[in-house]
Amino acid sequence: MTFGEDASLVRLRNAAQNFSFLRRLALNLLRADTSRSISLPRKLKTAAYNPDYLATALQLRKI
């Protein structure tokens, strides 16, 4: 329960499944990130506070 799924209010149609997919995708991208050698919970916290690290971890590029 990394993203507080139990407290989520997403209940309409297949929205819960869609958000579940997005959560798994985000976690897998953070696990695959090798730019920093830190634990997954620490990567989540770092991504929350540092937009540059978030862009790096999610492999986003400037347009």
3-state SS, the chain, equals CCCCHHHCCCCCCCHHHHHHHHHHHHHHHHHHCCCCCCCHHHHHHHHHHCHHHHHHHCCCCCC
- Averaged pLDDT for residues 17-35: 87
Q: Rounded to 10 degrees, what is the CA torsion of 15, 46, 25, 20?
A: -30
- Averaged pLDDT for residues 21-34: 88
Quote the radius of gyration of the chain (alpha carbons, Å). Answer: 13
The pLDDT value recorded for residue 50 is 92
Q: What is the pTM of this model?
A: 0.69
- Ranked by mean pLDDT, the top range of 6-10, 17-21, 28-32 is 28-32
